[in-house]
Amino acid sequence: MAITSLTGMKDVLPVNQESWLFVDNWQRLEESMRRQGRLYGFREMRTPLLEMTELFARGVGDTTDVVTKEMYSFTDRGDRPITVRPELTAGLVRSFIEHKLYALPQPTKVFGIGPAFRYERPQAGRLRQHHQWSVEVFGSQDPATDAEVIQIGIDLASQLGLNGLTVHLNSIGCPVCRPDYREKLKDHFRPHLGELCPDCNERFDKNPLRILDCKVDRDKPFMATAPKSIDHLCDECRSHFDGVQRHLKSLDIPFEIDTGIVRGLDYYTKTVFEVIYPPLGAQSTVWGGGRYDGLVETLGGPPTPGIGFGMGLERVLLTLEKMGLALPPQPPLDAFIATIGDAARSAALPLAARLRRTGLSAELDVLGRSLKAQMKYADRLGARYVVILGDDELARGEAQVKDMAGSAQHQVALENLAPWIEGQKAAAEAWSAAGDRPETQPENGGTHRG
Ligand SMILES: [Zn+2]
Ligand SMILES: [Zn+2]
């Protein structure tokens, strides 16, 4: 019996069966994320998949669903409690502290791209291995940083074709104003304890803010009348929240205040946000994040403000698929070398190697197909040119080159093959940039040397 993949874990494939699982789209998206990071002054950081369990218990919060119900935790052979990361931020913070990056000129702007693991219930259709672009800024409390962190994601989405996003914004206060707000929340929920789910009864003492985020109790009537954090902010939080809004306006980023957003993780302070794409309907949140000014200190570092977000790659790719938006395709194969005869077959491998060394992609037949079958296969591979090599041509040091986009066939000297293909490509690009393309490319082997 064949072994299958685990529930909630997907293979990303080299063929386009489902576009959100097609590797070309993953590569395109990751390239866009890295490019976007570079434009905004972020550096990539790569941290291990495995961390001490305590990092997440302390960093993510031991009352969150993620930590209490969803982590892949185990004891390793050295009897250490280990967890496969359920998100990337905690590991990035751990590394920031461990390598004393706070001693460098601040802020530290970093991002990570990679998998995270949560034991989600399969009926919710959620993945147990998903991938995140985790973008973080350490060392700036300036509300301009909050706006910049929101903007980097909005810019990325709009480059992918997701326009018309709305930012839902909230502030959940700080250690100065939150204790008072917590008491107000407890006063509000105390008469309803019997109606709240068992989890919320536990949250009531440990972290009543979490109750606002409960998926079970969300629609109960006393939820809508709960006190709002933005009505209980201290002066500093209030002016910070005003600042974030001012900066978003200056960037023309549409936003609305949404007091229902508390986010699923304990470490957030002040700004929390979710980015909504209305055409998606009910499940319209594409990504979210927020500020975590106490997290670095909680994990043993010096007091350092921080803000960031995690964007799910699957979520973005599924959204693009759902909206019928395609990422730009990978460049086609430059040349397929089709051969007739034994001498030509032996010459194909070094010829392909020569083309590849000049930066042209090249493929050749290794299954001994007929010429007709080779042409068909070349077409399937999306080859731009097919180099037809027979024993006679080989003896003369020449090949027939067929332009697969038209009907033209050219006689080209083998030693000029690479520059000839480069020249044809450049000419075709120039034509397509001019919005026109002739039926037959200008002919003349070797004269387009660039
Ligand atoms: Zn405050
Ligand atoms: Zn509940």
- The 10s digit of each residue's pLDDT in 208-229 is 888 887 888 888 889 989 999 9
3-state secondary structure of 339: strand
Residue 446 has pLDDT above 50, yes or no: no
How many angstroms is it from 184 CA to the middle of ligand 1? 15
Residue 175 near residue 345, CB atoms below 8 Å: no
How many angstroms is it from 70 CA to the middle of ligand 1? 31
Select from 216, 239, 60, 232 the least CA-distant residue to 142. Answer: 239
Question: CATH topology for 335-433?
Answer: Rossmann fold (3.40.50)
How many angstroms is it from 136 CA to the middle of ligand 1? 21
The whole-number pLDDT of residue 264 equals: 60
How many angstroms is it from 237 CA to the middle of ligand 1? 4
Residue 84 has pLDDT above 70, yes or no: yes
Express as a percent the part of the chain with pLDDT over 90. Answer: 76
Select from 390, 155, 141 the least CA-distant residue to 270. Answer: 141
Question: CATH topology for 19-177+233-322?
Answer: BirA Bifunctional Protein; domain 2 (3.30.930)
How many angstroms is it from 177 CA to the middle of ligand 1? 4
The least confident of 89-103, 113-127, 258-272 is 258-272
b/e for 280-304, b at 16 or more Cβ within 10 A? beeebebbbbbbbbbbbeebebeeb
Confidence band for 260, pLDDT divided at 50, 70 and 90: confident
How many angstroms is it from 204 CA to the middle of ligand 2? 10
| Residues, CB-to-ion distance under 5 Å, ligand 1 | 173-174, 176-177, 234, 237
The least confident of 29-33, 192-196, 200-204, 446-450 is 446-450
How many angstroms is it from 79 CA to the middle of ligand 1? 41
∠ Cα 278 114 265 (to 5°): 60
How many angstroms is it from 35 CA to the middle of ligand 2? 41
The whole-number pLDDT of residue 352 equals: 97
Select from 88, 83, 49, 70 the least CA-distant residue to 127. Answer: 70
Residue 135 has pLDDT above 80, yes or no: yes
The whole-number pLDDT of residue 234 equals: 97
In the chain, count of helices (H) and strands (E)?
Answer: 15, 16
Residue 207 has pLDDT above 50, yes or no: yes
Summarised one tens digit per residue, pLDDT across range 147-195 is 999 999 999 999 999 998 999 999 999 999 999 999 999 999 999 999 9
H/E stretch holding 421 reads helix 417-433
What is the residue extent of each domain of the chain?
19-177+233-322, 335-433
Confidence band for 405, pLDDT divided at 50, 70 and 90: confident
Confidence band for 331, pLDDT divided at 50, 70 and 90: confident
Considering every ligand atom shown, identify the ligand nearest to the alpha carbon of residue 171 and give its number: 1
Which range, 151-155, 278-282, 327-331, is most confident? 151-155
Task: Name the region of 283 (left: φ>0; alpha: ψ -120 to 50; beta: rest).
Answer: beta
The CA distance from 309 to 149, in Å, is 8
Residue 158 near residue 246, CB atoms below 8 Å: no
Residue 113 near residue 26, CB atoms below 8 Å: no
Joined together, the tokens standing for residue 14 give: 């080299």
Residue 273 near residue 170, CB atoms below 8 Å: yes
Select from 91, 143, 80 the least CA-distant residue to 115. Answer: 91
Mean pLDDT of 405-418: 92
